[in-house]
Amino acid sequence: MSRIDETRPFVPVAIAVMTISDTRTAETDTSGDALAARVIAAGHSLAARTILRDDADLIAAQLRAWIADPAIDVVITSGGTGITGRDVTPEAFSRVLEKEIEGFGELFRMLSYQKIGTSTIQSRAIGGVAGGTYLFALPGSTGAVKDGWDDILVFQLDSRHRPCNLVELMPRLQEHLTA
């Protein structure tokens, strides 16, 4: 189970939030608002935030820009992970990922199953690493964003989480480039 070791220091990370939707605006982006609020409440910095339409080229370009930005450690997207023709977030991720974190999508769907049952098969939530930056794609519903953050990411992005966490691996994400 998740455990926070209060004897260890908290290390804040810089997180960029991208909402992917053909219909949401800054005024109606409830899932982006929920995610941004959670990032800040957890003690991290909201490094950037944007809303893009469901277009794999646009999404991949923004991911590449944020991956190249040394001021961004993590990118979390909301939306576009379903199975309709306009849902292209996983395809955009596949263009930029160096390594997939298979367990993220698996765990997300396992936890989601407990809340929405078999409808969870419609989610293609995905996580991975590129250029030393963590990338996570969550479904676009506010509930799914809350579940992904509250049940997985808040712990894995906390340097005090035991037995291990993603933050402590950050210095080693690009060690293959120096070997």
Position 72 in a domain = yes
Number of domains making up the chain: 1
Position 4 in a domain = no
Distances (CA, A) of 136 to 8, 102, 105: 25, 11, 9
Position 171 in a domain = no
Position 177 in a domain = no
Position 115 in a domain = yes
pLDDT of residue 175: 85
Domain range enclosing 112: 9-166
pLDDT of residue 179: 60
How do 126-130 and 74-78 pair as beta strands? Answer: unpaired
Position 54 in a domain = yes
pLDDT of residue 178: 75
Query: The domain spanning residue 153 has which CATH number?
Result: 3.40.980.10
pLDDT in tens, the chain (179 residues): 669 999 999 999 999 999 999 999 999 999 999 999 999 999 999 999 999 999 999 999 999 999 999 999 999 999 999 999 999 999 999 999 999 999 999 999 999 999 999 999 999 999 999 999 999 999 999 999 999 999 999 999 999 999 999 999 999 998 887 76
**Residues 109, 103 contacting (CB under 8 angstroms):** no
Position 131 in a domain = yes
Position 1 in a domain = no
